[in-house]
Amino acid sequence: MAVPFEAFDNVDIRVGRVTKAERFPEARKPAYKLTIDFGPVIGTKRSSAQLTTRYRPEDLEGRLVVAVVNLPPRQIGPFVSEVLTLGVPDSDGAVVLLRPDFDVPTGGRMF
């Protein structure tokens, strides 16, 4: 099914830097709670991400990530996830983050 460009253009995908990553033991599936800085316009947002197979919390802090920032917040157990951090599964089903190859300013919009 083809998606009209206008619909895709409404999805706000931005680059942010993880400032804090912590375990999320209350989640049904293993996950981390991420705090992500998207720069002065969007600010800091939180996300739940199932990254525990390939990443440790200390590996995530300081890392650039790509996220959808204009979805409604989602309640995940006792945690509210404000953005959708993007990744793709590897051949074993473990999530691998989508991220820029080079350092770019936080808050940059994908186009």
Q: Which domains does the chain have, with CATH numbers?
A: 5-97 (2.40.50.140)
Average pLDDT, rounded, for the chain: 96
For residue 57, the surrounding DSSP H or E stretch is: helix 57-60
Percent of the chain with pLDDT over 90: 95
Q: Identify the DSSP state of 42.
A: H
Taking residues 60-88, report their average pLDDT.
97
Q: According to the model, what pLDDT value does residue 98 have?
A: 97
Taking residues 90-100, report their average pLDDT.
97
**How far apart (Å, rounded) are the C-alpha atoms in residues 77 and 45?**
17
The pTM of this model reads 0.95
1-28 per-position pLDDT tens digit: 898 999 989 999 999 999 999 999 999 9
